[in-house]
Amino acid sequence: MHSRRQFLLSSAAFAALLATASKPASAANAPGVTDTEIKIGQTMPYSGPASGYGVIGRAEAAYFRMVNETGGVNGRKINLLSLDDSYSPAKTVEQTRKLIEEERVAFIFGSLGTAPNASIRAYLNENKVPQLFISTGASMFSDPQHYPWTMAFNPSYRTEGHVFAKHILATRPDAKIAVLYQNDDFGRDYLEGLREGLGPDHAGMIVKEVSYEPSDPTVDSQVITLQSAGADTLILGTTSKVAAQALRKASDIGWSPERYAGSTSNSIPALKSVGLDKVTGLITNYWGKDPNDPRWADDPDYKEWAAFVGKYMTQSELGDGFAVYGAGAAALLTYVLKQCGDDLSRENIMRQAANIKDFHGAMMLPDAKINTSPADYRVVRQLQLARFNGTSWDWFGDMLTD
C-alpha cells in the first residue's frame, strides 16, 4: 500500500518524492508537455446554478500550486487552465474545444457535471484525449470498452442508490419513498440505483418520483408534490443547492421524512443555508474525512489539510468537503503523472490511470484504497454511511465496497 505520508499536502517527504531532475520531453509526449511544464485543462461552474462546486476547481488549482512550489512532477510544473462553463453543456463544448485546439493542453482533468462531461465525451475519445478523473459518478463514464479515454473520479451514483436502498430495507421495510432527482443521467442514475437496490419485490415502496431541471429557480412545487404522495422517506439525487432548497421547503411545510442525500449534496456549507438544526438526522454516504468532524482534530491528515488551506486557500474553505474533494482528485492526478515518469504521452497517462494499485491519499477514510484496472475504471468504490448530528457526520455500519 502507498503510505499516505507520501501524499500529505505540504510535507518534506512529498517534495522529495516529486522534485527530481528535469529531463527533455520526448517527441511522443502529449501537446502541452515541455521540458518544464505539463499544461492541462478543465471546465468548472464558477457561475450559474452549480457555482457552489466552484470550490473544487479552486482547491485543485491550489494543490497544484503547492506541488509546483515543492519542485513539480519530475521537474515539470503543472499548469491548470480552469475555465468557467456555467454548468452549461453548450459552453462546456466551446471551452473544451478552446482548451484542446487553441491552448493545446495535454488532457482534460476534473471537469464537473454529468451533462457537461457527456457533451464532450465523444469529441475527446475520437481525438484520443484523456478525460481524466472528471467530477461525476454517472455510470455512463465507467465504460472503458466503448470510451477508453474517459475516467470519472466520483463513486457511482447507482452504487449510492444501492446503499440507500439496502439501509431502508434493513431499517424501515414498510417505508414509503419519495425521490427528487435531476432530469439527466446524473439524477436518473440515483433513481435507477435505488430501484435496483430495492429489487422487484419492493418496487412498490417508491410512491412518487419527481424530477427538476437544473435551470429551475426552486423545487418548492416538487417538494409539495412529494409530501402529498404520503411519503415518509425522501431521497435526494440532486446538486447541493437543490438539496438545500428541498430540505428548507420540507421544513417550512412541516414535513419530516427520513432523509437521504447523495455525496453531491452533503456539503456542510450548503446545509448551513438551511439551518443545521433543521437537517440533523440527514443520512448520506461518505468516502473522505469530514474536516468538520472533531474526531480528526489531532489527526495528521487534518493538520496537514489545515496547514494547506491556511497557506493556499481561505479560512472559509477549511470545513468545505468539496474543497477536500478537489485536493484529493488533484493528489491522485499528481500520483499518476509521477508514475508516468518521462513518458507523458496521452497513451501512457491513461495507462497509468488505469493501473492504480492501493493508493491511499490524505483525507481518505482509514483503510480506504483506490484501485483501477483496464477493465474497471471506477476510482472510488468504498462508501461509508453517515448521519448528520448537527455539527458533523457520525458513521454507522461497515464500509461498503461495490
**Is the same domain home to 14 and 91?**
yes
**Residues 300 and 151 both lie in one domain:** yes
Q: Is there a single domain that holds both residue 261 and residue 192? A: yes
Same domain membership, residue 117 and residue 165: no
CATH number at residue 50: 3.40.50.2300
Note whether 162 and 139 are same-domain residues: no
Residues 14 and 106 in one domain: yes
- Residue 387 belongs to a domain: no
3-state secondary structure of 390: coil
pLDDT tens column, 168-179: 999 999 999 999
> Quick one: pLDDT at residue 269?
83
Residue at 37 is within a domain? yes
Parent domain of 200: 157-286
Residue 163 and residue 109 share a domain: no
Residue 152: the pLDDT is 97
Positions of the chain with pLDDT lower than 70, given as ranges: 1-27
Name beta bridge partners: 33. 38
CA dihedral 103→339→63→18, nearest 10 degrees, is -110
Domain presence at residue 388: no
pLDDT at 250: 97
| pTM confidence score | 0.85
Task: Report how far residue 253's alpha carbon sits from residue 216's, in angstroms, rounded to the nearest whole number.
Answer: 20
Mark whether 281 and 304 lie in a shared domain: no
pLDDT at 24: 41
- Cβ–Cβ < 8 Å for 81, 103: yes
Determine the distance from the C-alpha atom of residue 332 to the mean position of all C-alpha atoms in its chain, rounded to a whole number. 12
Residue 402 lies in a domain: no
Query: Which pLDDT score, from 0 to 100, does residue 382 have?
Result: 86
CB-based burial of residue 299 (10 Å sphere; 0-12 exposed, 13-18 middle, 19+ buried)?
Answer: middle
pLDDT of 4 reads 37
Q: What is the dihedral of CA 188, 193, 195, 200, to 10 degrees?
A: 140
Q: Alpha helix locations (H) across 134-199?
A: 157-171, 185-198
What share of residues in the chain are helix, strand, coil (percent, to 5)?
Answer: 45, 20, 40
The DSSP 8-state label assigned to residue 50 in this structure reads: T
* Residues 225 and 110 both lie in one domain: no
Q: Which of 257, 286, 315 is the last residue of a domain?
A: 286
pLDDT at site 23:
42
User: How many structural domains comprise the chain?
Assistant: 2
- Residue 11 sits in the same domain as residue 140: yes
Q: What is the pLDDT of residue 18?
A: 43
* pLDDT score recorded for residue 17: 40
Task: Identify whether 24 is part of a domain.
Answer: yes
For residues 123 and 96, membership in a common domain is answered with: yes
Of the candidates 286, 307, 331, which is a domain's last residue? 286
Note whether residue 398 is domain-resident. Answer: no
Show which of 261, 286, 311 is a domain's final residue. 286
Does the residue 213 lie in any domain? yes
357-374: b (≥16 Cβ within 10 Å) or e: eebbbbbbbeebbbebee
- Contact indicator for 30, 107 with CB cutoff of 8 Å: yes
Q: Which residue has the cell 517527441?
A: 27
Residues 161 and 147 in one domain: no
Domain assignment present for residue 397? The answer is no
